[in-house]
Amino acid sequence: MAYVPLADQDKEMEMHHPHNWVEEYVFSQDHKVIAIQYGSIAVFTGIVGLTLSVLFRLQLGFPESVDFIDPNFYYQAVTMHGMIMVVYFLTALFLGGFGNYMIPLMCGARDMVFPFMNMLSVWTFLISVIILMASFFVGGGPTGAGWTLYPPQTAMEGTPGHDMGIVLMLISLAVFIIATTMGGLNYAVTVLQYRCRGLTMMRLPLTVWGIFVATVLALFAFPALLVAAIMMLFDTLLGTSFFMPAVIEAGQPLDHNGGSPLLFQHLFWFFGHPEVYIVALPAFGLVSDVLSTHARKNIFGYRMMVWAIVAIGGLSFIVWAHHMYVSGMHPYFGFFFATTTLIIAVPTAMKVYNWVLTLWEGDIRLNAPMYFAIGFIFTFIHGGLTGLFLGNVVIDLPLSDTYFVIAHFHMVMGVSPILVLFAAIYHWYPLMSGRMFNEKIAKLHFWLTFLGAYAIYLPMHYLGFLGVPRRYYVLGETDFIPMSAQDLNAAITIAAIFVAVAQLLFFWNIIWSLKHGKKAEKNPWGSASLEWQTPDLPPKHGNWGEDLPTVYRWAYDYSVPGAHEDFIPQNTPESVEPTVDTEHFDPDHDQSKADI
Amino acid sequence: MSVFKHLAVKPWERKGIIGGLKPEGAFDSPAERVALSFFLVIASVVFSLFTVSYFIRMELPDWQPLSEPAQLWFNTGLLVLSSVFFQWARSASNSEQPKNLITAFIGGGVFAILFIAGQLMTWESLQAGGYYLTSNPANAFYYLMTGLHAVHLLGGLWVWSKSSLRLLSGAEAKEVRLSIELCTVYWHFLLVVWLVLFAVLANT
Ligand code: HEM
Ligand SMILES: [Cu+2]
């Protein structure tokens, strides 16, 4: 099998075959190995981010109880936590991890279009993580300017890491963007060009749609961060004044003059808002497939789901300034962005309805992946609703920079995508490892995580209403915050430690099951989509053995009336599994119900 | 492209093989060309954001317009020549018996290198004239934007050098045809970017 076409329509191309151990597992060009590498590095950064959060929660819950947590350390921990979780953990895991694993399999291709560039991408990503982590060890430590890195704060004497820390952060981000661009070109072009015979765009599982649109967002939004990072590097290292205004620090004027901090905010959020959907859209896609498979029903309103993904992707570029309502913008400007922000909630809400309607009258299998997927619907509705509050300028003004915002984005961007990640990892675990995980432990993991997350974030909404500001080392005394707020903070910290420790169940489960889990049978969930139809489980290098698959139907033929089983794989020809002619099929003899 | 038609399809109704060997919605061109089109959009975003930032920063009171060195006109000529040579190479590579292919292709790259050298000379003359990076935001933008454009050219030259080596070691025209075509497209793109940047810099 030296020469095989990587995909039907492509020229014959030599598939890279590993010659030794190193080429097979280290410098591999197999998308599945790269996916695991990407995923493992991302999870590692996630663990660092989680640890940091436990540390700064200790300070918030029990002020000054831990010796080494001084104000500087607190700010550094908060900053690094935010940036790590958003960029190096979630983005990398969804795009580099799941994108790499799922796209070629779900598209019926042997690999990505540019396997070598794919390998470069993961190693570049590793370098960016090393640079980031190096900032913990340089003099002055990592930057403590908040994950939004607003100037002039980043460069001020009083901000920890204002010299080396911020420089390493910006360089690391630039390197990360190069890695994502190399990966992203691969994902997007693979989806467009390497689908197997018969697999039209509208037959793709929503997972691929979500990752595809998120990739396009990443390709076009990260440049804004790159531009901002380059100009800020110039300001910090070379003394220009793109963003740095004239500042007087400890009585001394700094060398900078006349720069515009607002310009930075615009660039940052022009990247920042699409970024939240770069994380959310893959999660939307993955959860749709998990829900549909375990409800044994086709996803409700497939076309609407695709349109919503595309619409959200487009709209997410024109809402960025809702993060800047308090920056003193012109009221009409705020009005415009409030309107677009509320409009983007419409396709988002449509997706939620469709998830719920997919469950409606389904033959629901309540297993661990399904627990997490349903849990996601709850947390996402919750976080989406608070987003609607914040989207209105007048409501946002008092709530901005309080714990209400923290609660909003953790429900919507922290808890929700992570629940989907767990759902997806459990769901595809048999495919990736060939083993089943321990179902009981997984369910226990769900309840602890789900209830624990509510115990952490629900009270934060209330703290926000009280006016407790975010990014404060200690609360101190105020006229408006009652002393009892501190008790709530302590309770939140205890819940956070609890949830963090509960994740050990997850790690134990997936590691233990690698060796001791029950051997998975082929297609254990009875899934219709292509990734489960490979000749081997887990799929081998090249995925499809001798022949590439041919697709005859969409990815959601579940519980089709008259079929042999309650699912029909995408590569089953019509002759084998005659399908109902939807134009004329009608169980109730009621013509008006035939079309949705 | 009939994107809307595709999006309106009811996939649950249509069964069977659709689209033959190339499934519906795939572009009728090699993956490398599709990837390059994506990259051109990304690069356009980068340059546009710098340009927008330039206009925003320009409004602030400390801005002192820079009078661009006249040498830029000469450099622009070099870059135009470079593009012309690439176009020449491209049409040569399309013919059955390519003539002067090597001259055209290598010539294109050489003019690009001369262009970069010319840009560096403007930097030096600005330095000599006391227009330092930090003395004014207009200067900073000048160095930044010309530098970034040159970096993009260098990236192109890297691909160019690989293809040139293959041509010189006797590769046939059809083996490098795609690479020549993509280089040409990229060069034209960078020429357009440069013309826009030049217009912006010179008129403000
Ligand atoms: C239903 C649609 C949504 C609306 C209307 C909305 C609205 C808002 C608004 C107005 C803010 C700014 C609050 C402030 O700083 O004062 C905000 C913050 C935020 N939102 Fe949303 N949001 C929505 C959905 C999402 C989603 C889906 C995600 C992520 C997956 C997300 C992630 C974030 C993040 C990370 C922040 C805080 C950034 C920071 O200041 O550090 N939001 N949201
Ligand atoms: Cu936003």
Chain B contacts in chain A segment 208-227 (CB below 8 A): 219-220, 223-224, 226-227
pLDDT score, position A590? 40
Residues counted in chain B: 204
8 Å CB contact of A185 and B9: no
Helix (H, G, I), strand (E, B) or coil at B172: coil
pLDDT tens digits in sequence order for chain B, 204 residues long: 467 777 788 888 878 888 777 777 788 889 999 999 999 999 999 999 999 999 999 999 999 998 888 999 999 999 999 999 999 999 999 887 778 899 999 999 999 999 999 999 999 999 999 999 988 999 999 999 999 999 999 999 999 999 999 999 988 888 889 999 999 999 999 999 999 999 999 888
pLDDT in tens, A303-336: 999 999 999 999 999 999 999 999 988 999 999 9
Q: What is the mean pLDDT of residues A417-437?
A: 97
Q: Which of B6, B16, B46 sits opposite A201 (nearest CB)?
A: B6
Give the gyration radius of chain B's Cα atoms. 21
| pLDDT tens-place string over residues A516-535 | 999 999 999 999 999 999 99
Mean pLDDT across chain A: 92
| Number of domains chain B contains | 1
For an interface test with B, the pick among A8, A192, A193, A305 (most B C-beta atoms closer than 10 Å) comes out as A193
Model confidence band, residue A72 (pLDDT cutoffs 50, 70, 90): very high
Segment A101-114 shows an average pLDDT of 96
Which residue from B161, B31, B159 is spatially nearest to A114, judged by alpha carbons?
Answer: B31
Q: Are B50 and A227 in contact (CB under 8 A)?
A: yes
Element holding A4 (H helix, E strand): strand A3-5
Mean pLDDT of A223-232: 97
- List all residues 6 or more positions away from A165 whose beta carbon is below 8 Å from its beta carbon: A76, A135, A138, A140, A141, A142, A143, A144
- The full 3-state SS of A507-558, as one line of letters, equals HHHHHHHHHHCCECCCCCCCCCCHHHHCCCCCCCCCCCCCCCCECCCCCCCE
Q: Between chains, do B21 and A8 touch, taking CB under 8 Å as contact? A: yes
Average pLDDT over residues A160-170: 95
pLDDT value for A11: 45
Quote the minimal CA–CA distance from A76 to chain B in Å.
Answer: 29
Does residue B65 sit within a domain?
no
- B50 to chain A: which residues are within 8 Å by CB? 227
* Burial (CB count within 10 angstroms: exposed 0-12, middle 13-18, buried 19+), residue A136: middle
Selected residues 177-196 of chain A with any CB under 8 Å from a CB in chain B: 181, 185, 188-189, 192-196
Query: For the segment A266-310, what is each residue's pLDDT rounded down to a tens digit?
Result: 999 999 999 999 999 999 999 999 999 999 999 999 999 999 999
Residues of B with CB below 8 A from A224's CB? 45, 49
DSSP state of A567: B
Q: Which atom of ligand 1 is nearest to the CA of A280?
A: 30
Q: pLDDT value at position B67?
A: 87
Helix (DSSP H) and strand (DSSP E) numbers for chain A = 16, 4
Domain boundaries, chain A: 1-10+24-204, 552-596
Select from B11, B22, B50 the Cβ nearest to the Cβ of A227. B50
Residue A253 DSSP SS3: strand
| DSSP per-residue letters across A331-369 | HHHHHHHHHHHHHHHHHHHHHHHHHHHHHTT------HH
- Supply the range of the domain harboring residue B187: 29-60+71-203
- Give percent of chain A above pLDDT 90: 84
Does B24 fall in a domain?
Answer: no
Element (H, E) at A249: strand A248-249
Cα distances (Å, whole numbers) of residue A561 to A411, A475, A566, A579, B12: 39, 62, 8, 8, 13
Enumerate the β-bridge partners of residue A267: none
Torsion of CA A229, A230, A233, A235, to 10 degrees: -110
Q: Torsions phi, psi of A350, nearest 5?
A: -60, -40
Nearest Cα neighbor of A384 from A346, A340, A333 is A346
Residue B148 lies in a domain: yes
Contact call for B35 and A185, based on CB within 8 A: yes
Q: What is the CATH number of the domain that holds B107?
A: 1.20.120.80
Look at residue B18 and tell me if it is in a domain: no
- Residue bearing tokens 């340009």: B51
What is the model's pLDDT at position A217? 97
- In words, the CATH class of domain A1-10+24-204 is mainly alpha
Q: Residue A1: what pLDDT?
A: 29
Neighbours of A206 (CB within 10 A): 27
Cα of A30 from ligand 2 centre, angstroms: 35
Q: Could you tell me where the DSSP H helices lie in B59-136? A: 71-94, 101-128
Are A295 and A196 contacting, i.e. CB atoms less than 8 angstroms apart? no
A106 lines ligand 1 (CB under 6 A): no
Confidence grade of residue A580 (pLDDT, cut at 50, 70, 90): low
In a domain, B92, yes or no: yes
Mean pLDDT of A485-493: 95
How many angstroms separate the CA atoms of A275 and A122, rounded?
20
Q: Tell me, using a 6 A CB cutoff, whether residue A459 lines ligand 1.
A: no
> What number does the ligand 1 atom closest to the CA of A416 have?
30
Is the pLDDT at A592 greater than 60? The verdict is no
Mean pLDDT of A223-239: 96
Reply yes or no on whether the pLDDT at A47 is more than 50. yes
Q: Nearest-CA residue of chain B relative to A199?
A: B23
End-to-end CA distance of chain B: 39
A489 within 8 A of A463, measured Cβ to Cβ: yes
pLDDT confidence of A593, banded at 50, 70, 90? very low
Of A24-28, A69-73, A200-204, minimum mean pLDDT range: A24-28
- Which whole number is the average pLDDT over A392-417? 96
ipTM of the complex: 0.94
State pLDDT tens for residues A432-449: 999 999 999 999 999 999
